[in-house]
Structure 1
Amino acid sequence: MNQLDALKKFSTIVADTGDIESICKYKPEDATTNPSLILQAVNLNVNQFLIDQAVEYAKKKGGLYKDQIINASDKILVDLGVEILKKIPGYISSEVDARLSFSTEKCILKAKKIIDLYEEKGISRNRVLIKLAATWECIKAAEELKKDNIHCNLTLVFSFSQARACAESGVFLISPFVGRIYDWYVSQNLLSKSFSGKDPGVISVCKIYEYYKKHNYKTIIMGASFRNIEQILHLSGCDRLTISPVLLKELESNTRTITRQLNPPGVFSVPPVALSEEEFRWEHNQDAMAVQKLSEGIRNFGKDQLSLEEILSKKI
């Protein structure tokens, strides 16, 4: 048995890609996208129809030029998600514009618009996860959206305070970014690239997993942003693992035996009092890595969103 098939016995495998061909090949349960992956997908010739559909939709809907660009961008996000959902049995994660990450109200409105677009295509909201950056504002947005049966994937999780606040708000799923934590420690010369043990990104997810299971939180933990298969295998047993096609291929081609690394405890404890906004911001601020990587992630997703809009603006 190859490692990918073996891993599927311990964790739900999710494809971190917008490439339909890869999704068909590796047969994941779910799939995740982000602005960077959407941009890659629309640049493929095979997906030119997505741009054409989006532009036609935006022009038909009318409005100001800037509104048409935004409507076309939202349409591409959803239409690609619809195509992916034809190939998987589970969820598609579709990300809200990162530039809205500091407004609870705007995130809620955008999430509802995305869900409406999916439902217009006959897709139930129960198959869609709205991706939001794990800022305080987005965590609160997810808490409100849950009341309308709109479930969220809180992404760019780097600090324990982010993970804790998500669980306390009843968020459906979080995505701790293993590889980007690892990158930061390497960039600060705190870890060598040849390091082969449990690196800080892996340790972060292990801590979250232990805490969630100990306190019986229902929030799903989905390890993300991997740099190598060793990081993935150290987290076998995590609820979900979202993996790029490159690493899915490597796992499929490897037959070394793997064992489950994460196991829930048998004894539960009463959860502590929920963090206040003040406590959350202070605790998150104490983690320099998390502050830098969250800001960087939001900025970079924002840049890719702008790049997508530039492509659409030329068509509109």
Structure 2
Amino acid sequence: MTTKLEQLKAMTTVVADTGDLEAIAQWRPVDATTNPSLLLKAAASEAYRPMLDAAIAESLSARAADADQLAYATDMLAVMAGEKILKLIPGVVSTEVDARLSFDTDGTVARARRLIEMYDQRGVDPSRVLIKIASTWEGIRAAEQLEKEGIRCNLTLLFSFVQAAAAADAGAYLVSPFVGRILDWHLANSDRDAFAPAEDPGVLSVTRIYNYFKANGYDTVVMGASFRNAGEIEMLAGCDRLTISPALLQTLQDDTGDLPRRLSPEKARSSDQRLAMDENRFRWESNEDAMATEKLADGIRRFAADQIQLENQVRKLSSAA
């Protein structure tokens, strides 16, 4: 019998939400995406230790200041991990810019260029890399500039319609709405302890974004992310891409029930008219959305904290080298 995972792959590009090389080899997704949290976990594994040592050695040879040596080493680790991942998948890998640059357009552009240069120097086709950037106003402006240079971007930590509309207006290649974190906020800020998949706030958010993009002729790819349960994934079957953890990939693989298509370009209808987003509108509407404001700030803090922890790990190993 056909599993739900196989049915999903027939209508949606499945992306592995992990940096674990063994998990990627097992599930063989089309694409893969990583972030500082995933890299931090992966760096503790034996499979990543040679890459970590090599990244440190290269950063030491760069003869930069201590702070930049750490940034260089962690960037190199991300690139080496991406290179390994690309040998296991046919598609693209997303590599994230340091979250501490989320409000620095020029800094984000410079770091993205460096990541792409690192990939290129290692013989990796830059067209197989997406640069992940937080969906702040500054991050979206950085993505707009990078896209014009031919560097494709994945706008992450996306929680609101206004973020998605601004990203599409800027010509971003892909957006990653965080389904599960939207649900988390609504559970914490309401008297409800559960939502049915069909009324899950994260599912409704991604559905609105998908329909808006398709109905208004945007090319920006919608990739649902951060799932809490298989029901959320099933309600978004047909979305352009879905990035799914190994645990939920296993849940879908174990289920042989029918999986109907929920989203399609042909059926997309939207009451949202195509928006030309300026900074004032973006900031005001973001300010009016407490969930998106809180979750964006929280996500940036979490990724930055994991980046710092990864750098501390590199510092200790560098001192011992």
Q: Equivalent residue of 1:217, what SS? A: coil
**Alpha-carbon distance between aligned partners in 1 of 2:191 and 2:11, rounded to the nearest angstrom:** 31
- Alpha carbons 2:165, 2:275 under 8 Å: kept: no
**Alpha-carbon distance between aligned partners in 1 of 2:99 and 2:69, rounded to the nearest angstrom:** 18
**Alpha-carbon distance between aligned partners in 1 of 2:220 and 2:239, rounded to the nearest angstrom:** 12
AA in 1 matched with 2:81: L
RMSD of the alignment, in Å? Answer: 1.5
Deviation at residue 313 of structure 1 after TM alignment: 0.4
Query: In structure 1, what is the equivalent of residue 306 of structure 2?
Result: 304
- Alpha carbons 2:212, 2:268 under 8 Å: kept: no
Distance 1:212 1:194, change over 3 A: closer
Deviation at residue 194 of structure 1 after TM alignment: 6.2
Deviation at residue 272 of structure 1 after TM alignment: 3.3
**Alpha-carbon distance between aligned partners in 2 of 1:112 and 1:191, rounded to the nearest angstrom:** 45
AA in 2 matched with 1:165: A
Which stretch of structure 1 is more off in the superposition, 78-87 or 266-275? 266-275
Alignment of 1:188-267 (within 5 A): 188-193=189-194, 195-265=196-266
**Alpha-carbon distance between aligned partners in 2 of 1:259 and 1:70, rounded to the nearest angstrom:** 45
Query: In structure 2, what is the equivalent of residue 27 of structure 1?
Result: 28
AA in 1 matched with 2:220: T
Deviation at residue 266 of structure 1 after TM alignment: 6.1
Query: In structure 2, what is the equivalent of residue 315 of structure 1?
Result: 317
Query: In structure 2, what is the equivalent of residue 87 of structure 1?
Result: 88
Percentage of matched positions with identical amino acids: 47
Note the residue ranges of structure 2 that are not aligned, 5 or more in a row: none
1:39 pairs with 2:40: yes
AA in 2 matched with 1:68: Q
Deviation at residue 188 of structure 1 after TM alignment: 1.1
**Alpha-carbon distance between aligned partners in 1 of 2:269 and 2:9, rounded to the nearest angstrom:** 26
Distance 1:303 1:192, change over 3 A: same
Query: In structure 2, what is the equivalent of residue 165 of structure 1?
Result: 166
Distance 1:248 1:313, change over 3 A: same
- Alpha carbons 1:179, 1:201 under 8 Å: kept: yes
Deviation at residue 268 of structure 1 after TM alignment: 8.5
Q: Equivalent residue of 1:227, what SS? A: coil
Alignment of 1:172-187 (within 5 A): 172-187=173-188
Query: In structure 2, what is the equivalent of residue 3 of structure 1?
Result: 4
AA in 1 matched with 2:201: P
Alignment of 1:32-181 (within 5 A): 32-181=33-182
- Which of 252, 261, 282 does residue 280 from structure 1 map onto? 282
- Alpha carbons 1:50, 1:80 under 8 Å: kept: yes
AA in 1 matched with 2:316: K
AA in 1 matched with 2:303: F
Deviation at residue 60 of structure 1 after TM alignment: 1.0
**Alpha-carbon distance between aligned partners in 2 of 1:217 and 1:197, rounded to the nearest angstrom:** 25
Deviation at residue 196 of structure 1 after TM alignment: 4.6
Distance 1:285 1:313, change over 3 A: same
**Alpha-carbon distance between aligned partners in 1 of 2:143 and 2:273, rounded to the nearest angstrom:** 20
- Alpha carbons 1:154, 1:173 under 8 Å: kept: yes
Deviation at residue 5 of structure 1 after TM alignment: 0.6
Deviation at residue 45 of structure 1 after TM alignment: 1.8
Aligned residues: 316
- Alpha carbons 1:160, 1:204 under 8 Å: kept: yes
Note the residue ranges of structure 1 that are not aligned, 5 or more in a row: none
**Alpha-carbon distance between aligned partners in 1 of 2:30 and 2:233, rounded to the nearest angstrom:** 17
Distance 1:71 1:44, change over 3 A: same
**Alpha-carbon distance between aligned partners in 2 of 1:159 and 1:232, rounded to the nearest angstrom:** 18
AA in 1 matched with 2:53: D
Deviation at residue 189 of structure 1 after TM alignment: 2.6
